[in-house]
C-alpha cells in the first residue's frame, strides 16, 4: 500500500498521530475532524495515499465505492437524523482552487442540527 511519510493523514493511518476514530477496516479510515463545522463532522479516507481526486485511477474505484456506501451508516451512527428530515453533506475538495488543505483524498461528512459554523 502506498504511503507518503510527510502526509498527516498517512501518519494518522499508521497510528503516529492520534485521532478519534469513527470506523476502520483494512482499506478505509473514518475519524472526527479536529475543527468541526457542524455537530457531526468526520472524514473518510482511503488508507492508501492518493493525493487528490485528480489523482484517482480506475484501480481506486472499489475503495471509493466502499467509502460512499459507508457514508449513510456512519452519518446516522454519529448523530445525523434520518432522511428526509435529517441528512448530511459530503464534501471533497480537490487542489488549491477547490480548497484542498491536506494532500490526501478525503471526504468530509457534515451534518446535524443547523445552523452550522460553516456551510
> For the chain, what is the radius of gyration of the CA atoms?
14
**pTM score, whole prediction:** 0.95
Handedness of CA 8, 11, 17, 23 (dihedral sign): positive
User: Which of 41, 104, 106, 108 is labelled catalytic?
Assistant: 106
HSE of 113 in the Cβ direction (CA atoms, 13 Å)? 0
What is the fold of 8-111? HIT family, subunit A (3.30.428)
Q: What is the pLDDT of residues 40-64, one digit of tens each?
A: 999 999 999 999 999 999 999 999 9
What is the domain partition of the chain in residue ranges?
Answer: 8-111
Q: What is the pLDDT of residues 93-105, one digit of tens each?
A: 999 999 999 999 9
Q: Is 55 a catalytic residue?
A: no
- In the structure grid, which three cell numbers stand for residue 91, read together? 464534501
Amino acid at each position: 500500500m502506498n504511503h507518503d511519510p510527510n502526509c498527516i493523514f498517512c501518519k494518522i493511518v499508521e497510528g503516529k498521530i492520534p485521532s478519534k476514530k469513527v470506523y476502520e477496516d483494512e482499506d478505509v479510515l473514518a475519524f472526527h475532524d479536529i475543527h468541526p463545522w457542524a455537530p457531526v463532522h468526520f472524514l473518510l479516507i482511503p488508507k492508501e495515499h492518493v493525493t487528490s481526486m485528480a489523482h484517482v485511477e480506475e484501480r481506486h474505484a472499489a475503495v471509493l465505492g466502499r467509502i460512499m456506501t459507508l457514508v449513510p451508516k456512519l452519518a446516522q451512527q454519529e448523530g445525523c437524523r434520518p432522511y428526509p428530515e435529517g441528512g448530511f453533506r459530503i464534501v471533497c475538495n480537490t487542489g488549491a482552487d477547490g480548497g484542498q488543505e491536506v494532500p490526501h483524498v478525503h471526504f468530509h461528512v457534515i451534518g446535524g442540527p443547523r445552523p452550522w459554523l460553516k456551510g
